[in-house]
Structure 1
Amino acid sequence: MTAGIMSAGRIQVRGGGLQAGKYLVLAGAVFNLALCFVSTRHWLHIGNAQIAMVEIAIMAAGFYLIRHQVDRNALWIMAVTFGFLVGAKLVNPALSFKIVHDVGIMYIFFVLGRMTTERVAWSTIWILTALVLAVGMVELIFTDMYASLFNIWDYYVQKGVISSDTVNYSNTNLFLSGNRGAGAGRTFFQSIFGPHRVSSLFLEPDSLGNFSAVLFAWCLSVSRNQPGRRCVLLYGLAVLCFILADSRFASGCCMLMLLMRISPFCRVPLVAFLCPVIVATGLTVLGSLHELPGVLPAIIKDDLSGRLIFSGRLLDYWNIGQWFGLAPSQVYTSDTGYAYVLNNLGAILTLFYLGVFAFHRSRTPESAIMKTMISVYFATSLCIGASVFTIKTAALLWFLYGVTEVMGPARQSVRPVRAARPAARAVLPHVAGAAV
């Protein structure tokens, strides 16, 4: 989750910086596809270390661009967070500092979004959507050729996500969830697409589903019943993406976001704060109703209901130490997002970041709506995993959220600065923080 701190500082917008955020978002989305191709051609061994180095390079470039926007409040929050994590690591050896990486993506790309314009945001969306659909159609129509160019299975084995002794029942080079198993047909158009779930340039169908949800959230936030502002085409493409990925999560999430958008609460900060809290509480109650005394929580049935019960059982199984990040979880947390966040960040810091994100003042109506859409997106996705933190889609999400802060009347104060005339600076109120 991400935190944003309003400050009285100022963001200087330079001409080169307007486009830089777009290129970093695109890089975050496509670099895994490029590395997978390199690995498949055996040009270079690609493991988790190499992938992490590329991610860190992208984040470092982003941090360099926003370096003048990091104010004292943000630094204090970073210091407190690092202090807690270092201290908690002493008593909880399983604590993962990857949570710093996850929050860093949110902060960096949120500020990058605030340094650019709506026009650049739309350019980013259309370029990325075109790439996603182009690669996705190649995968769908020429599956064997796609698999020969991108051996996704081996890529994720080398990455450590898939165990080397995992049985490949689909007998393909696609990701583990790239095909619906026997007896578990597609939700959408089984007769047309068969069991295949499209991954496109994200390499895994879950991320394509997340991408569709991000597009849908943006459309709900910025669309208006005015010529040129209805976003009809992008709505349709977002739906097409979760159909291709056969993402049940994305379809349900988009429906919930739509219901929230037409409700009178879509701009209420308290709603943005309560959504994840209520869902996490509900999960815990669900887990208490499915307790198995003396049995460690596990995924008994690998479907939506089975994952929800597993997430709830794990939260219910925990003692107070796990909730506050001071004791290791008895069971892995990678398949349940709430447990991952709470056991690594602790309940107190998690609620703090959530509160700052939810209650910071939105500068535009679009920003207020987008904030609530993000809350719904996180509240639902964290029930079944932590994929919302991957840079492949998180960079786009927080970049677009940052852009909504400078839309409409706020955009009028954003004018690029010529590098040759440093004295002629255009400024806008600075947000030195970002979100949960």
Structure 2
Amino acid sequence: MALLLNEQRFDKLIVVLIPLCVIYNAVLAFVNGNLFGINTAIVAATEIALLGLLLGLVVVTGFKRDDQWPIALLAVFVGSMLVTTLISGSLYVDAFRNILIISVCTLIGIRMAEEDLHKVFFILACGTLFFLLIEIISLETYVRIFQPALYYANTRGHSVSEFNELGIFNAALGFSSRFSFGVFSGPRTSSLFLEQTALGNFASILSIYLITFWTSLAKVRKIFFVSLITLILLSSDTRAGTGLALLMLFGYRVFPVLPKYSQVLIIPLVILLCGLVSVLSVGGYEAYGDTLHGRIILGIDHLFDLEFAHYLGWGVNIINKLWDSGFAYLVASSSIFGAITLWLYMIFLVPGHSAQAKRFIIGMNLYFGLTIVVSGNSVYSIKTATLLWVMAGVMYRLEKEKITTPTDELAKPEAFA
């Protein structure tokens, strides 16, 4: 079967399929707004088909020894899903879907050339910039193309707000007291991602990509990516994206000099600091709101409110109360054992021997740990998770090659050609 798909064909397919995973909602939104109606079933079928195609590429290229970690992660979550189903009496597949994206994209990254990763990021960055400029210059044109409010009403059940006269995603409207840079007067931008949170997450992942591959990029590409990130941050008024971009800028020099496996401490420290914010806050549930403070308290209070049985698998019975609550959702949907497995996967997947690997692995853990606090389940969205975990697979392979390549071979000029 592997002979049916040579390396050249794999490269061409992957450079098409990965961007499709990121932008397929934009494509469906265009169809929904201009050709014929799209429903939830079509969206789900499209995502399943794309993941199926990626998994099919993995199968026809043949499994490798390096595939053991993503396969093990998937196996643990299959077991976790079965256990939580037996304990709770409810079949909940969303946690498995989230991990399927992580595992399959890691497997693809392991097979992907670094050059193709650069192509994917450049293609998506160009597309994002193109539609971002349209959105900023002529919001009416952007809405005519994608009809975001109508798309989410038809496919997610998000009825169009009475205050939404523009036709954009409801939350992109913002409100007077929300954080804003004040550079752009219009609503928060969304570009190809249709909603502002995913666009902010794209900027964060693009920041991780930049610090990881900075020395491999041409000067023009560096200027282009930095400019795009800046435009996204200023136009979408993203708090999390801005904070993470600044952390990555700071971390370019700092991450490589940190002790090995420093990433072990990131998520525990995030939970501890958020717990302190909650304990020191006043107002209880009244403090919840679309502010940084409110989002932290919402997520961490729900985690602390879980009962012992919820950690063991019964949490799926209260999952509808935990949407957008980050760590609480992760634990309740997959049990504490599934949550710990994912944490260990993020810590140890990429051996942190080189400066490049340290920048990536610490950046990835910061992104996951901080994003899950303030924007809940968005870290699992195929629109952005695809890029993060494909990059993780590429980095895993690159680091394994450095470890297994003899020193005298690395010293040869042709090793860097």
Say whether the fold is shared (TM-score over 0.5): yes
Structure 2: 5+ residue runs without aligned partners?
406-417
2: CA distance, partners of 1:33 / 1:26: 11
Give 1:133 shift: 0.7
Give 1:19 shift: 2.9
Give 1:356 shift: 3.3
* Bigger RCO (CA 8 Å, 6+ sep): 1
Give 1:395 shift: 0.8
* Aligned Cα root-mean-square deviation (Å): 3.0
Give 1:283 shift: 2.4
Give 1:292 shift: 7.0
Query: Matched residues, percent identical?
Result: 21
2:54 is matched with: 62
Q: What is the letter of the counterpart of residue 179 of structure 1?
A: L
Q: Residue 238 and residue 94 in structure 1: after superposition, are their counterparts in 2 closer, same or farther (change >3 A)?
A: farther
SS at match of 2:117: helix
| Contact 1:180 1:195 (C-alpha < 8 Å) held by counterparts | no
Are 1:371 and 2:367 an aligned pair? no
Q: Output the TM-score relative to the length of structure 1.
A: 0.81
1:5 is matched with: none
Q: Residue 70 and residue 387 in structure 1: after superposition, are their counterparts in 2 closer, same or farther (change >3 A)?
A: farther
1:182 is matched with: 176
Equivalent pairs counted in the alignment come to 394
Q: Output the TM-score relative to the length of structure 2.
A: 0.85
Give 1:159 shift: 2.0
1:40 is matched with: 33
Q: Deviations over 1:96-118 (max 9, x none)?
A: 31111111111212221221222
2: CA distance, partners of 1:112 / 1:229: 28
Q: Residue 314 and residue 201 in structure 1: after superposition, are their counterparts in 2 closer, same or farther (change >3 A)?
A: same
After TM superposition, the structure 1 stretch with the greater mean CA deviation from structure 2, 25-34 or 297-306, is 297-306
1:310 is matched with: 298
Are 1:203 and 2:194 an aligned pair? yes
Structure 1: 5+ residue runs without aligned partners?
1-11, 415-436
1: CA distance, partners of 2:280 / 2:146: 43
Q: What is the letter of the counterpart of residue 287 of structure 1?
A: S
2: CA distance, partners of 1:113 / 1:330: 31
1:421 is matched with: none
Runs of 4+ in 1 over 6 A off after TM superposition: none
2: CA distance, partners of 1:131 / 1:346: 38
2: CA distance, partners of 1:409 / 1:340: 33
2:129 to 133, 140, 151: 133
Give 1:404 shift: 2.8
Alignment of 1:250-399 (within 5 A): 250-263=241-254, 268=259, 270-290=261-281, 297=285, 300-327=288-315, 328-329=317-318, 332-360=321-349, 361-362=351-352, 365-384=355-374, 385-399=376-390
1:418 is matched with: none
1:155 is matched with: 151
Give 1:390 shift: 0.7
Q: Residue 266 and residue 230 in structure 1: after superposition, are their counterparts in 2 closer, same or farther (change >3 A)?
A: farther
Are 1:25 and 2:18 an aligned pair? yes
| Contact 1:22 1:124 (C-alpha < 8 Å) held by counterparts | yes
Q: What is the letter of the counterpart of residue 22 of structure 2?
A: A
Structure with a larger share of its residues in helix: 2
| Contact 1:181 1:195 (C-alpha < 8 Å) held by counterparts | no
2:8 is matched with: 15
After TM superposition, the structure 1 stretch with the greater mean CA deviation from structure 2, 357-366 or 385-394, is 357-366
Are 1:216 and 2:212 an aligned pair? no
Q: Residue 285 and residue 88 in structure 1: after superposition, are their counterparts in 2 closer, same or farther (change >3 A)?
A: farther
Alignment of 1:420-435 (within 5 A): none
2: CA distance, partners of 1:353 / 1:201: 29
Give 1:134 shift: 0.5
1:98 to 69, 94, 99: 94
| Contact 1:381 1:388 (C-alpha < 8 Å) held by counterparts | yes
2:104 is matched with: 108
2: CA distance, partners of 1:266 / 1:401: 21
1: CA distance, partners of 2:91 / 2:141: 41
Give 1:407 shift: 4.6
